[in-house]
Amino acid sequence: MPTLTAPSPPTPEIELPTVSFFGRTLEEYSRFFALDVGKLRGLAVLDVAGGPASFTAEACRRGVDAVAVDPLYGCTPHALATHVQLDYARMFAQMRAKPALFRLRSFPSIAAAETDRRAAAQRFLNDYDAHFVHGRYVGGSLPRLPFLDDAFDLVLCAHLLFIYARRFDFAWHLTACAELARVSAGEVRIHPVCGADGRPYPELARLRRDLLAHGVTSEIVKVDYEFFVGSGTMLVLNPQEK
């Protein structure tokens, strides 16, 4: 009789039935995007799918002309605070339930990460309440952004594209990356380059080839950051002369 082999257990991953309203601090952005914030002073920087990150609020206080875009911007601060409450509870419950997915190099514990990120969300909510009317926070979403060509010196996109590879197909990813390149007069930085299971995006080589055909060069860059398994790199896009 043939030997029966037990099937391998499924690879654990964070469950993401919807795009989470979840954010991080300028300090974390500086690490996973390899940013020198001092050199961004006076530059126009866009945070795509910014959620409740405090990057834009903190960067503006340091003299950066930062703008964030997210589908939920336009909601009241109270409604956004409710999204924070629900999504943070769900995400941190998963983190505690699946510790093998995480590499706590930036924080001593999940509890410390939660404290830091909840503080970031509160800074965001305060800044959103004060500056939404000034255009610092703009409602919009990929793959079509409400900005002119070359509107920003640097475009950032964290924890959206490849994390949600099960939700968005290859065509969406290609269109989204081309759109990020369209609104940038300089670089686009995307982090991380893996899915919710920590594995590299399986269509990455094809994506980079197709972007090159659209006049966008790319490279994979290691960063000094790994909050969860596989998140130690970013994808840098460089639109060629338009």
Q: Which two tokens stand for residue 196?
A: 């919710």
Beta strands 152-158; 44-48: pairing state? parallel
Give the Cα separation of 41 and 43 in Å (integer). Answer: 6
CATH code: domain 26-239 is 3.40.50.150
- Supply the pTM of this predicted model: 0.92
Mean pLDDT on 126-134 = 97
Residue 4: CB partners within 8 Å, gap ≥ 6? none
Cβ–Cβ under 8 Å, residues 230 and 240: no
Phi, psi (rounded to 5 degrees) for 172: -65, -45
pLDDT digits (tens, 9 = 90+) for 161-179: 999 988 899 999 999 999 9
Mean pLDDT on 50-75 = 98
Q: What is the pLDDT of residue 240?
A: 77
Cβ–Cβ under 8 Å, residues 222 and 40: no
Q: Where are the domains of the chain?
A: 26-239
Q: What is the mean pLDDT of the chain?
A: 91
Is 90 exceeded by the pLDDT of residue 125? yes
